[in-house]
Structure 1
Amino acid sequence: MLKRKTITTSSVLFGSSLLLATAAHATTPEVNNQRALHEIASAVSKTRIEQDIQTLVDFGTRHTLSETKSNTRGIGAARRWIKAEFETISKACGQCLEIIEVKDTISGEKRIPNPVEVVNIIAIQRGQVDPNRMVMMSGDIDSRVSDVMDYTSDAPGANDNASGVAGVIESARVLSQYTFNGSIVYAALSGEEQGLFGGKILAKYAQDNNWRVHAVLNNDMIGNSTGINGVTDNTTARIFSEGTRVIETKEQAHKRRFTGGEVDSASRNLARYIDTIADKYIENLDTMLVYRLDRFGRGGHHRPFNDVGFAAVRIMETNENYNQQHQDLRTEDGITYGDTIDHVDFAYAAKLTSLNAVSLASMAWAPAPPTGVSISGAVKPSTTLSWHHSDDPTITGYKIYWRYTSEPQWQFSRDVGKVTTATLKNVVIDNYYFGVAAVNKDGIESPVVFPGDVGAFEWANNEP
């Protein structure tokens, strides 16, 4: 178990509220620099990632419809190897991983016309305090060439998406050396190229098993640092996040029209959390918050989790090379096409894997995000936020965040202690967006929760 240090905050309580200083004297948000989080960031190995990508490439093709009986070729061999890697990792940590297959048979679809078993390989590292609270990292096993139905041609899929799967496995290697309060799920998903079926299957499984999924970090192409635009950049990454939930009701949308929150969904504040982690713990990496579900008109395996209301984002490279995505292996007019391993920047893939690992660790050590967050202050000089009481024993206090409505990141914050209501004196509700994070004794924080349904991380538990 990680040794923890205690920080203290001084506050003056007045009944159930806390009167705070004005925004003019607010401090900028700080994330506690836990030594272990820095250790996790530096423990990720680009050599191991390279080896894992090479192993996945060597299966020839990992197309969802490809061979399943061979031990050397096809998606079946790839799945069994991933499962064996998780088993090796689990053995090294005293069987700390619960390894399962989450699967279903899909048929009658445009890209899966005949019955095919879509199998996800899942490893769960159960939390010691709140084991049903989940944060997840995912990558896609399957690969493809130009014709999405071609399941026999070589489809190495080195960057798309052996890089993501290798990142998931490496994160499991590193994080399995620690114990956490909440659970971490390492997910190798299938069927992405045929219609996001692996994600749909796992999202339903999570719902059926009452998982409280607070974060899904989908990694799809994290190994390319040179784009088709001619830019080579290994210092940036993109985080895609949806705005309002697709399952928002008409009544919730009507309320949001008057209270705001279009840029403060749980997914958006998850993205902000990861962006802050990058600034604090990942050397020479700046993340770009992209206010869009995914790339323009395209999709990824975080979407099925968004579709059922979970906070989920896509983490990926900044500059894509379309000659190396979904392409037959060939050379035409002097241009080499195909997703081969010689195009992968392993140091860059390791950097983005570190971002994931530290983000997962921070959220799994932190308390759960507050529930029932509400706000009041219309036609008043001050703003009051309230939230539900929590029985989480790791919570030592809460922190209120606020920012100007045009700013992408939280600008100001105040520690308010272990209360359920706090007032920002002379901070006018009309001029800012607000949120609340839960804090543990080490100063590690949950993601910020925007008031109301729009910002809730636990959709069903947000009744005021």
Structure 2
Amino acid sequence: MRLPLTLAALLVAGAANAQQAPSTDQPLLRTIAADVDPKALESTIRALVGFGTRHTLSDTRSDKRGIGAARRWAKARFEAIGKDCGGCLTVETPAQTFTGKRAPNGVEVMDVLAIQKGTTDPNRVILIAGHIDSRVTDVMDFTSDAPGANDDASGVAAVIEAARVLSKHRYAATLVFAVLSGEEQGLYGGKVLADYARAQGWKVEADLNNDIVGNSRGQSGVMDNTHVRVFSEGTKAVETPEQANSRRYNGGEVDSPSRNLARYLDGLADRYLTNFDVVMVYRTDRYGRGGDQVPLLEAGYPAVRVTEAVENYDRQHQTLRTENGKAYGDTIDGVDFAYLAQVTRLNTVAMASLASAPAPPAGVKIEGAVSPDTKVSWSPTPDAAGHKVWWRGTTDPTWRFSRWVPAGDTATTLKDVVIDDFFFGVSSVSADGWESPVVFPGAAGSFESAVTAPAINK
């Protein structure tokens, strides 16, 4: 069968150029994945559950119960990990006071951050986050036991374990391990983190928000321990009307930096994890619900939400009780530690890969109207040995074809690849094969979009 001209050109271009690029296989990522310890994750969750409640409005002075004790415990864990890595972690506790519907009398919301400074590109930052606060059915009940084993001690456990594993190695970019407060009262911890990132002048390349990541049995009884959902916004929260008009006409609805970050995680799972895959969900969050990635998106930073494949709502936001023989409440027996370890492996592999790769390329553009060919161009990327130009059909979910372009060239022409029929992107690749996420052309896909926004009730 004779292939259509365009498809033949795609296959020839991809095959001819793939051989010239550095190998992107990274044995270090398999080492990092293997180092994740389910028992360490369980130990963290048991410690957090032991504080009784971690409600944002709960006791901050006790050493045994409440949000204050839990935050101090997390800070001590980060300090211990930092000591083990020779002082590679700096621990910070940014805080703001908020007043709102779920905090009518005002409350100080404090985050606990462990920062591992990058070796050559320290202003570029990769974040992982989980929220330490918990709740029961009544969101204003701050005295009842609220173990929050899965929502979200599981996410905090992933953050702390990621710090332990990743601190054994060094990376070009900075890693930030974030334990957030105030999520259940209004996503306040995410706002504190976004404001802190802006104040530090960080170029946040990715925020991996882990929220409800430890359960593998759904409410209907369905078991799924081989998938995790990654939610990502389609169009940027900070998009201007002019940018929206351009995007509506030329495309980009499914190519925000957050969406291409989700594709990046999916590819890493395929290559480095065993029997574990990413389900990309084309939504910012679950339907009608939210998480701490939202304030990061509203500040213009790429962010995704990582959440288990099947949820059990009898174990979320529930007062501890038994009704008609059914137990309600977010208790530790609902956590699958082997599954949580897989989710943590995905996070650690992604953070190491992102922080080791060059920055995503800037200034990506395409040209080719009324032409049989497409020209793709970009600005030079520091520390890149070259770039990959990617393209895919407009209905393909993931990038399909690529061409290697060595450093020194900042443009290439794809012969017989018609601009009308494909979406295009560019990634940066180092000499030793570390590759950035793909960047879609123009404002819709740019990773450089952080904006200044006023703090809330600071």
Equivalent residue number for residue 455 of structure 2: none
Q: 2:247 aligned to 238, 241, 256, which one?
A: 256
Q: Provide Cα deviations, 1:141-186, integer angstroms capped at 9, x if missing partner.
A: 0000000000000000000000000000000000000000001110
Is 1:422 paired with 2:408?
no
| 1:53-68 alignment runs, 5 A limit | 53-68=45-60
2:148 corresponds to 1:157:
yes
Report the 3-state secondary structure (helix = DSSP H, G, I; strand = E; otherwise coil) of the residue aligned with 1:395: coil
> Which amino acid in structure 1 is aligned with residue 78 of structure 2?
F
In structure 1, the residue corresponding to 2:429 is in which secondary structure?
Answer: strand
Partner of 1:15: none
What secondary structure, in the 3-state scheme, does the structure 2 residue paired with 1:367 have? coil
SS in 1 for 2:111: strand
Task: Quote the residue 1:9 is aligned against.
Answer: none
Does the 8 Å CA contact 2:299/2:450 hold for their aligned counterparts? no
The aligned runs of 1:162-181 (5 Å cut-off) are 162-181=153-172
For 1:26 and 1:36, locate their aligned partners in 2 and report how far apart those are by CA, in whole Å. Answer: 30
Return the match for 1:40 from 32, 54, 66: 32
Find the partner of 2:258 among 237, 244, 267: 267
Contact 1:246 1:306 in 2 (8 A): yes
What residue number does 2:224 align with?
A: 233
Q: Look up the SS of the partner of 1:60 in the other structure.
A: coil
Q: Could you say which residue in structure 2 is the equivalent of 1:355? A: 346
Residues 327-406 of structure 1: matches in 2 within 5 Å? 327-390=318-381, 392=382, 394-406=383-395
Q: Aligned partner of 2:427: which letter?
A: A
User: Any residues of structure 2 matched to 1:60-459 within 5 Å, and which?
Assistant: 60-107=52-99, 109-390=100-381, 392=382, 394-418=383-407, 419-459=409-449
8 Å contact 1:245–1:454 — kept in the other structure? yes
User: Aligned letter for 1:212?
Assistant: K
Distance 2:59 2:189 in 1: 17
Offset at residue 114 of structure 1 (A): 1.0
Does structure 1 retain, via aligned residues, the 8 Å contact 2:387–2:427?
A: yes
Counterpart amino acid of residue 86 in structure 2? G
Contact 2:300 2:450 in 1 (8 A): no
Return the offset for 1:334.
1.2
State the percentage of identical aligned residues: 57
Tell me the equivalent position of 2:3. Answer: none
What is the CA–CA distance in structure 2 between the aligned matches of 1:455 and 1:341, rounded to whole Å?
Answer: 40
CA distance in 2, matches of 1:169, 1:440: 29
Instruction: Call closer, same or farther: CA 1:460–1:49 in 2, change over 3 Å.
Output: closer
Matches of 2:394 and 2:115, distance apart in 1: 38
Instruction: Please give the secondary structure, in 2, of the residue aligned with 1:64.
Output: coil
Provide Cα deviations, 1:288-318, integer angstroms capped at 9, x if missing partner: 1100010000001101101111100001101
Q: Work out the number of aligned pairs and report it.
A: 438
Query: Residue 448 of structure 1 aligns to which amino acid in structure 2?
Result: V
**1:282, CA displacement in angstroms?**
1.1
Query: Is the aligned partner of 1:50 residue 2:61?
Result: no
Contact 1:97 1:123 in 2 (8 A): yes
Alpha-carbon deviation of 1:338?
0.3
Structure 2 letter corresponding to 1:138: A
Q: Is residue 370–residue 438 contact of structure 1 (8 Å, CA) maintained in 2?
A: yes
Contact 1:229 1:319 in 2 (8 A): no
Residue 120 of structure 1 contacts residue 187 of structure 1 at CA under 8 Å; is this kept in 2?
yes
SS of alignment partner, residue 144 of structure 2? coil
- Measured in 2, the distance between the counterparts of 1:78 and 1:436 equals 43
**Unaligned stretches of 5+ residues in structure 1:** 1-20
In structure 2, the residue matched to 1:7 is none
- SS in structure 2 of the partner of residue 183 of structure 1: strand
The residue type equivalent to 1:410 in the other structure is W
Q: Secondary structure at the match of 1:132?
A: strand
Secondary structure in 2 matching 1:454: coil
Bigger shift: residues 78-87 or 250-259: 250-259
For 1:247 and 1:435, locate their aligned partners in 2 and report how far apart those are by CA, in whole Å. Answer: 21
Deviates more, 1:247-256 or 1:339-348: 247-256
- Per-residue CA deviations over 1:63-101 (Å, capped at 9, x if unaligned) read 000011111110000000000000000001110011100
Distance between the aligned counterparts of 1:41 and 1:137, measured in 2? 16
Q: For residue 25 of structure 1, what is the amino acid of its counterpart? A: V
* Counterpart secondary structure, 1:399: strand
Q: Which amino acid aligns with 2:421?
A: N
* Cα distance, 1:460 vs structure 2: 6.2
Q: Secondary structure at the match of 1:453?
A: coil
Q: Give the Cα–Cα distance (whole angstroms) in 1 for the partners of residues 339 and 297 of structure 2.
A: 27
Gaps of 5+ in 2: 1-7, 452-458
In 2, the alpha carbon distance for the partners of 1:179 and 1:280 equals 22
Secondary structure of the residue aligned to 2:185 is: coil
What is the distance in 2 between the residues matched to 1:460 and 1:56? 33
Distance 2:289 2:14 in 1: 39
Which residue number in structure 1 is paired with residue 5 of structure 2? none
Q: 1:25: Cα distance to partner?
A: 2.3
Q: CA deviation at 1:286?
A: 1.3
How much does 1:437 deviate? 0.2
What is the RMSD computed on CA atoms of the aligned residues? 1.3
- Using the TM superposition, give the Cα deviation of residue 416 of structure 1 relative to its aligned residue in structure 2, in angstroms: 1.0
Normalised by the length of structure 2, the TM-score is 0.94
Deviations 1:309-362 (A, max 9, x none): 110000110100000000000000111000000110000001000000000000
CA distance in 2, matches of 1:60, 1:460: 38
Q: Deviations over 1:340-396 (max 9, x none)?
A: 001100000010000000000000000000011111111111111111123x2x211
> 1:26: Cα distance to partner?
4.5
For 2:450 and 2:48, the matched residues in 1 are separated by 39
Partner of 2:150, secondary structure, is helix
* Alignment TM-score, normalising by the size of structure 1: 0.93
Separation in structure 2 between the aligned mates of residue 24 and residue 69 of structure 1, nearest angstrom: 64
Q: 1:331 to 1:212 in 2, by over 3 A?
A: same
